[in-house]
Amino acid sequence: MRDLADVVRPHTHIPGYRMPHYCFSGLHISCEFVLPGVPAWEGGGAPDVTIAPGPVPDRLPGAHGNTFQVAGDATVRVQFPRVGTFLVEDGRRVTFAANPAATNRDIALFIQGSVFGLLCHQRGLFPLHASAVEIGGRAVAFMGDSGAGKSTTAAALLQLGHPLLSDDVSVIDLSGESAMLLSTTPTQKLWSDSLRALGVEAGARVRPQLDMDKFERHVGGAFGAAPRPISAICQLETALDDGSAMFEPVAGARAVQMVRRNIYRLQAAQEMGKEGRLFLQSATIASTVPQFILRRPTNLEHLRSFATNVSDFLLSSWCK
């Protein structure tokens, strides 16, 4: 294995060297190491976010907690066992001190997840714990707790020709006239039973040192990089044999609460003083984007027919 310093500290002394620049949810990100699978930034200009190794304080002034520490100016220090410690400032800077045992892939995994979620809260974007695909030119997000089937549902729809937009974290921008979903990366993380059910070959194991039965899947050209208007949000639940409809519309206060409880890194955002803004954003999304409870089969053998029914229902909804 290469020494970590060779991974996270590239050869900046080489004349003409340029740090990797990436496009993640429309943001121009400059990072001092490789973010596997993240699209390159094709334009110029100053980066929106810089990510670099450096010293991270043991404690932020006035902060409490251990995993997440939040200072009065909404700066966040977050520590992940076996990976490292990250300092997230002003929605623009990330400084990290890596654990000696961490790999480039470990660091990138947490930057694209928790760290990016914190950046979104600092920047006023709305990160949802959801995976998303494009159906009929519009974004559809599938949200739920870990293990609810977000990535699996998106992967099944991908096989029907619906491009992937995001995996696990879906970013919504409410600054314009309509809610827009900002794409993240053409990589999914799927459990082995889902890969088998879909007949998809497994990629690299996610965090192999923890022996997780979860693997990466790069979708290549089946990725939609441009922002899409978000036209449906579905809360995934396990189907029961009680005659319940596959799609159950949700509206009003119930819809607001459904969105709110799926905000990515909600507790940290509350400690950052974002509660009022998050409530208003949740209410805006609930009042403008149709929401459903979507009941999925427990048996993965029915995954393909489930995806077909989901696709047909949503496409017919667009045409009404």
Model pLDDT, residue 320: 55
Task: Specify whether the CB–CB gap between 114 and 104 falls below 8 A.
Answer: no
User: In percent, how much of the chain has pLDDT > 90?
Assistant: 64
Whether 20 and 84 map to the same domain: the answer is yes
Distance CA 223, CA 134 (A): 9
Candidate from 13-27, 136-150, 298-312 with smallest mean pLDDT: 13-27
Whether 231 and 305 map to the same domain: the answer is yes
Model pLDDT, residue 302: 86
At 255, is the pLDDT very low, low, confident or very high (cuts 50, 70, 90)?
very high
* Average pLDDT over the chain, rounded to an integer: 88
Whether 66 and 149 map to the same domain: the answer is no
Q: What is the mean pLDDT of residues 74-84?
A: 91
- Number of residues that this document lists for the chain: 320
Whether 284 and 178 map to the same domain: the answer is yes
Q: Is the pTM of this model over 0.85?
A: yes
> Residue 179 pLDDT more than 80?
yes
Q: Which of 106, 123, 140 is the last residue of a domain?
A: 123
Task: Specify whether the CB–CB gap between 171 and 120 falls below 8 A.
Answer: yes
pLDDT digits over 89-117, tens only? 999 999 999 998 888 888 998 999 999 99
Task: Specify whether the CB–CB gap between 292 and 249 falls below 8 A.
Answer: yes
At 1, is the pLDDT very low, low, confident or very high (cuts 50, 70, 90)?
very low
What angle in degrees, to the nearest 10, is found between the helix axes of 252-260 and 275-288?
A: 130
Q: Which of 123, 145, 176 is the last residue of a domain?
A: 123
Model pLDDT, residue 243: 62
Distance CA 107, CA 52 (A): 11
Q: What is the mean pLDDT of residues 29-56?
A: 91
Whether 113 and 188 map to the same domain: the answer is no
Structural domain of 270: 126-318
Q: Which of 123, 149, 170 is the last residue of a domain?
A: 123
- Write out the two tokens for 72: 């009065």
Q: What is the mean pLDDT of residues 26-45?
A: 90
Distance CA 86, CA 108 (A): 12
Number of domains comprising the chain: 2
Whether 206 and 276 map to the same domain: the answer is yes
Count helices and strands (H / E) in the chain: 9, 17
Distance CA 187, CA 219 (A): 6
Model pLDDT, residue 242: 62
Whether 25 and 94 map to the same domain: the answer is yes
Whether 17 and 157 map to the same domain: the answer is no
- Write out the two tokens for 97: 């001190």
Distance CA 299, CA 282 (A): 32
Model pLDDT, residue 118: 96
> Residue 15 pLDDT more than 50?
no
Buried b (16+ CB within 10 A) or exposed e, 204-234: ebbbeeeeeebbbbebeeebbeebbebbbbb
